[in-house]
Copies of this chain bind each other. A is one copy, B any other.
């Protein structure tokens, strides 16, 4: 592709990384990898002199070869074992060698959590721009759950690299779910946290099916929280205002089941209400991300709509691995991007895609109640 060096690209600085940590943490809905660890790694790369450039989606030439990438595994592991650092770069190079091509730009697989930082770090090392988009508009636990896959991209051949130096190519998978299944088994063998780059997409495809402006929006969300904190306004309200979301519960975590199973963190958090929710009990189902929110046994917010758990005071997002007994939290619901609500998307990222057979997706009510 022809990349216009006088274009609308913009560079990230440390302040933007700080805001992205907060914004991507909220959009992570509990998963996507710990954004604090991601921030430290991205900041380190900036301090080493690497440049991180974001390219507007609309600037992408139709024939550009765009590779999306991200961390794969259990967030719990990526939080406790820092990455070697060049996994993503090794993925891109191995993909280029396997296919005999040059990659033009990096896309984000999921904007939620540490996976917002992964493309930035890799693209910086490879001297490539990151396209301002992602495949989820949030975080999801499985690879077939991107708008890229949902709307027809076949993500193999893909390359998975671990911190030890192992390189695996998923050369052909008979379906996106088979790709996920094999990669998941392999990442567990590799220790539980690797990086995977998928087969290149055309710029034309990305412009049509990616969730647009993901970096711009995540950074603006982070800045809204920072601004509220500075002005002594409620950061929880700032998140709601910025995202068109609403508070659905406030309370204290009183029970927590959480286990590392099959490469995922799975479990449930029970929250006893306080303030307007006194006497109520809420439950949040977890598979890496928060999937279903129910109050007093009634399901109220359903994946792919976003369920976000924030520290009630600071407005800081709490990821699944950071949940603790006794935390005082606000639970928010944020409507997902329309690309995730189509019938074909709901087959994959609706409750059915997570094995909840009796739950039918209903878009969250946007009426403010509390």
Q: Are B171 and A94 in contact (CB under 8 A)?
A: yes
Question: Does A170 sit at the interface, judged by CB under 8 A?
Answer: yes
Bound together, the chains give a CA A164 to CA B166 distance in angstroms of 25
Q: Are A190 and B186 in contact (CB under 8 A)?
A: no
Q: Are B178 and A185 in contact (CB under 8 A)?
A: no
Question: Does A188 sit at the interface, judged by CB under 8 A?
Answer: yes
Query: Contact mask A91-106 → B, CB, 8 Å, 1/0?
Result: 0001000100000000
Q: How far is the CB of A188 from chain B (nearest CB, A)?
A: 6
Query: Contact mask A109-152 → B, CB, 8 Å, 1/0?
Result: 00000000000000000000000000000000000000000000
Q: Are A181 and B173 in contact (CB under 8 A)?
A: no
Q: Could you say which interface size class chain A belongs to? A: 20 to 34
Q: Are A168 and B171 in contact (CB under 8 A)?
A: yes
Point out the residues of chain B lying under 8 angstroms from A190, CB to CB. 182
Bound together, the chains give a CA A190 to CA B186 distance in angstroms of 11
Q: Are A172 and B178 in contact (CB under 8 A)?
A: no
Which chain A residues (154-192) contact chain B, with CB distance < 8 Å? Answer: 159, 164-174, 178, 181-182, 184-186, 188-190
Contact of A174 among B165, B178, B182, B189 (CB under 8 A): B165
Q: Are A168 and B182 in contact (CB under 8 A)?
A: yes
Main secondary structure on A side of the interface with B: mixed
Bound together, the chains give a CA A165 to CA B173 distance in angstroms of 7
Bound together, the chains give a CA A238 to CA B352 distance in angstroms of 61
Q: Are B171 and A169 in contact (CB under 8 A)?
A: yes
Bound together, the chains give a CA A7 to CA B355 distance in angstroms of 61
Query: Contact mask A275-316 → B, CB, 8 Å, 1/0?
Result: 000000000000000000000000000000000000000000
Q: How far is the CB of A28 from chain B (nearest CB, A)?
A: 26
Bound together, the chains give a CA A345 to CA B78 distance in angstroms of 36
Query: Contact mask A233-244 → B, CB, 8 Å, 1/0?
Result: 000000000000
Bound together, the chains give a CA A188 to CA B189 distance in angstroms of 11
Q: Are B172 and A170 in contact (CB under 8 A)?
A: no
Point out the residues of chain B lying under 8 angstroms from A170, CB to CB. 166-169
A181's closest neighbor in chain B, by CB? B189
Query: Contact mask A216-238 → B, CB, 8 Å, 1/0?
Result: 00000000000000000000000
Bound together, the chains give a CA A168 to CA B172 distance in angstroms of 7
Bound together, the chains give a CA A188 to CA B166 distance in angstroms of 19
Point out the residues of chain B lying under 8 angstroms from A168, CB to CB. 168-171, 182, 186
Point out the residues of chain B lying under 8 angstroms from A185, CB to CB. 185-186, 188-189
Bound together, the chains give a CA A77 to CA B171 distance in angstroms of 24
| A interface residue numbers (CB < 8 A to B) | 94, 98, 159, 164-174, 178, 181-182, 184-186, 188-190
Would you list 9 pairs from A and B whose C-beta atoms are within 8 A, ordered by A residue? A94-B171, A166-B172, A166-B173, A166-B182, A169-B170, A182-B186, A182-B189, A184-B189, A185-B189
